[in-house]
Copies of this chain bind each other. A is one copy, B any other.
Amino acid sequence: MKPETAFGLALKTARSSKGFTQEQLALNSNLDRTFISMLERGQRQPSLTSILSISESLNIPAYELIRQTMEIMDKNNKS
C-alpha cells in the first residue's frame, strides 16, 4: 500500500469524524477543493506544508495524522 493511499484514508477518516466537508476543509486550509478530493483518493500526495495546514484545520496535531497514516500502512502490510 502506497503512502498516498494510506494518507488519503487517514485524512478522509479524520475529516468525516470532525463533520467537515471537503469544501470547508479546503477553504480553511487554503487549498483547492479538487486537490483535497485527490488526496483522499490517494491520487496525489501532500507536501509538508499541506500536511501542516490540513491538520491544523482539522484541529489534529500533524504528527497524529502521520501516525495514523503509518498505522494504516502497517495494517495493510506489504511493507
Chain A residues numbered 7-60 whose CB sits less than 8 Å from any CB in chain B: 7, 45-49, 51-52
Residues of B within 8 A of A52 (CB): 3
CB distance from A53 to the nearest CB of B (A): 9
Contact A47 B49, CB 8 Å, known A62-B70, A66-B66: no
This chain: how many copies in the complex?
A: 2
Partner of A48, one of B46, B61, B63, B67: B46
Residues of B within 8 A of A67 (CB): 61, 63
Is the Cβ of B62 less than 8 Å from the Cβ of A66? yes
Residues of A bordering B, CB below 8 Å: 3-4, 7, 45-49, 51-52, 61-64, 66-67, 69-70
